[in-house]
Structures are given as C-alpha cells and as structure tokens.
Amino acid sequence: MAKVLITGSADGLGKAAAQLLVAQGHDVILHARSPQRAKEALTATPGARDAISGDLGSIAETKAVAAHANEFGPFDAIIHNAGIGYQERKRITTIDGLPAIFAINSLAPYILTCLITKPKRLIYLSSGLHRNGDGSLEDLAWEHRAWSASSAYSDSKLHDVILAFAVARKWKEIYSNSVDPGWVPTRMGGSGAPDSLAEGSVTQAWLATSQDPAALTTGHHFYHKRPRDFHPAAAKPEVQEKFLAECARLSKVLFE
C-alpha cells in the first residue's frame, strides 16, 4: 500500500486517479481549493483518508497546503494534478498579482515540490499543448506580452515538464516524471474531448505506485504508460535552472 497525495482531486482527472488508487487499496489524501470542495472530494471518493484545502492561486495558501501535507508524514508519491484551463479572455491576476494560469499550473507545483517532504515519486500533469509553450521563459508573469490564455496555458504545461525533468536531474533518489493524459472530457477539456477520462488517469496512478520496471524510471514524459516526445527545451539544464530561479524569485521559496 502506498500513501499518495493528489492535488486538485475534487473532480476530473484528479478525482479519477484518486478513485482508481483507493480501489487498488492505497492510502490517498485528496486536495481541493476550499473546505467545501474538500468535503465534496471526500464524498466523491469514499475510502480516501482525508482532504486538504487551499487555494493554489495564493502563494501563502500554497505554503499552508504544503505544511498541512507534511502533517500526514512522508508520502510515497505526489501527483501534481491541480490546474486551470485557458478560457480567460483577460489576464486574471491572483492576490499576488500573477496570472492565475501561471500561479496555479506552474508556480504552485514548484512551491509544493520545495516545501513538502520529498516523496519517493513525483508526477506532474502536463498536456500535449506543452509543445506550443515558450521555451525562452521570458516574461513568465505576462507583464509585457499581449495576453493570450491559450499561450499562457501551453507555457504552464511546458513548465510542468521542465519542473519534472529538473527534479529528476537534481534529486537522483526520486522518480520524477510528467504525464500527458490526453484530451479528455473534464470540465476543462469539454464534453466533446475525444480521449477516455478513465484511461487518462491510469498513467499517473501507475507511475505513483507500480513496481513495473517501466514505471520505476525518472526524467521521462509519458502518454498512456509509454514515453512520449516533448518540447526539447524541457531537457536543457540551463532552461531548468532559469525556471527554478524565476520561481524562487517570485515565490521567495528556494529549491534545495
């Protein structure tokens, strides 16, 4: 039995992964953005042990989520699933003055990675759209570029692959990988999405708990349990270091 934390597990892919892992007999801790959503998450996934609440759009609340997670003791795996889509026509900013897409999809996984006691495995949810992301990492906070929600989303999903690969390179004792779950019919993906929601949650659960030699690996990008091609910038140490440095500057949390 593995102890697994899943961020953003009140609905969609996070909920599907939580339900799958509970059905397999694992000890699952959920997360949702508010106390009410945390209650809903527990109702939706009977058998999960508990749920942490906290808005990952806030740096302070993200730090509090990390502190709460550490109260459960070391995890075997953490699935960084929480994220928002790209419907915003305007640049919506958080309490910290950052674009919500960047704060939740990119910066929050960085902060949680830094502050939660190192697990044995880390899984970061990306997207096929990450290949459209800007590998230069210029203007992460969209202070100078004309706003594009779809581009901001693609950037954020590239950031998740960069972070997964940076962790794999720097923390050799941890299995760290990213996952493209496919275009699935979640609230974000829309009802017309062509891929299977159930299948979209399998790979992250497999990476979190399986003893299959194919899952006991690090620094890879997966789709349906198979390595998949990725944006070439993600594998460059200088890009990884730039991303870590910018996240440290914006959050005042150091990657160590």
Q: Could you give the CA distance from residue 44 to residue 46 in angstroms, rounded to a whole number?
A: 6
β-strands 3-6, 77-80 pairing: parallel
Is 153 tagged catalytic?
yes
Q: What is the DSSP letter of 4?
A: E
* Torsion angles phi and psi, residue 150, rounded to 5: -65, -40
Residue 129 carries which side chain, given as an amino acid letter? L
Q: Which of 3, 15, 63, 157 is catalytic?
A: 157
Give the residue carrying structure tokens 């897409």: 101
Is 175 tagged catalytic?
no
Judge whether 10 and 44 are in contact, CB under 8 Å: yes
Judge whether 31 and 106 are in contact, CB under 8 Å: no
For every residue of 104-162, DSSP letters joined together read IIIIHHHHHHHHSPP-SEEEEE--GGGGGS-TT-TTTT-SSSPP-HHHHHHHHHHHHHH
Q: Which of 153, 175, 223, 242 is catalytic?
A: 153
Beta-carbon neighbour count of residue 229 at 10 Å? 9
Catalytic residues: 153, 157
